[in-house]
Amino acid sequence: MAQAKLTYTVAPQYLQSHPLFKDWGAEELGRFYEQCHRVGFAENEYLFKRDQGCIAFYIVETGAVQLQWQTQTNQVKSLHYRTTGGAVGDACVLMGDTYRVDALALEPTVALKVTKQHFYTWLANHPLLMMGLVAQLSQNLCYLFGDVMTMHSVSGTQRVIHYLVDRIPLKKHQRIELDRSKAHIAASLNLTPEHFSRILNDLIKNKFIEVTGRQVIVKDLDGLLGYTR
């Protein structure tokens, strides 16, 4: 499906929410923004695909985007999940070659498109932008290393428990709304959908949680935290 350019105006303050631009002044940010534009993507539409020439990166305004890659056995591995304020393709733009992963819209998504040519010009003239980008990429590398270590040292059950506990809201009732499908969550935890379902059923059987659709109610938080299977 072709990308649909949207015609309404964006306040530059939204761009400033991204770490790369947080220290920019309003006038400078406005000039940069004038050469960017919003694009809309339908659910299951690719922002870009692996091995395509890298021409731009995107900052998500609304919706959700999954960065993923396909194995030689045609399994899809979820790498990262981006929602409002998250960027996709920024590292690939700096590498200057091709996109290294696929970026898939998981739901109707609007993103701000920043072309490589435009970005390179501003990098050359704005050292603060370059420093911010290096800092962000370094942070992403640390997060990725931590994710890899977790995947190799923590059981599937513990990964699911950590995922649920991290999303418990800070209020009396312990109700969690899953923001994406169980298949996507399973992929992000390096689990098959079947394995993920078995773990949820085990936690339900032990009366730690109740699950209805995308809603999870934690019935026994202490028991859940102490479960070591």
**pLDDT tens for the chain, residues 1 to 229:** 445 444 334 445 667 767 677 667 777 777 787 888 889 999 999 999 999 999 999 988 889 999 988 877 877 888 888 888 888 998 888 777 799 899 999 999 999 899 998 888 888 887 877 777 777 677 767 666 666 555 566 778 887 887 788 777 655 557 888 877 787 788 777 788 888 899 999 999 999 999 988 888 888 888 888 887 7
Which residue reads 């499906």 in tokens? 1
Strands (E), the chain: 4-5, 37-41, 46-48, 56-62, 65-70, 76-82, 87-88, 102-105, 109-115, 175-177, 209-212, 215-218
> How far apart, in whole angstroms, are the C-alpha atoms of residue 192 and residue 92?
28
Residue 218's contacts (CB-CB under 8 Å, 6 or more residues apart) are: 164, 168, 174, 175, 176, 208, 209, 224
Q: Count of domains in the chain? A: 2
Q: How far apart are CA 211 and CA 213, in angstroms?
A: 6
The CATH number given to whatever domain includes residue 45 is 2.60.120.10
Q: Of 152, 170, 191, which residue constitutes the final position of a domain? A: 152
Q: Which of 132, 152, 172 is the last residue of a domain?
A: 152
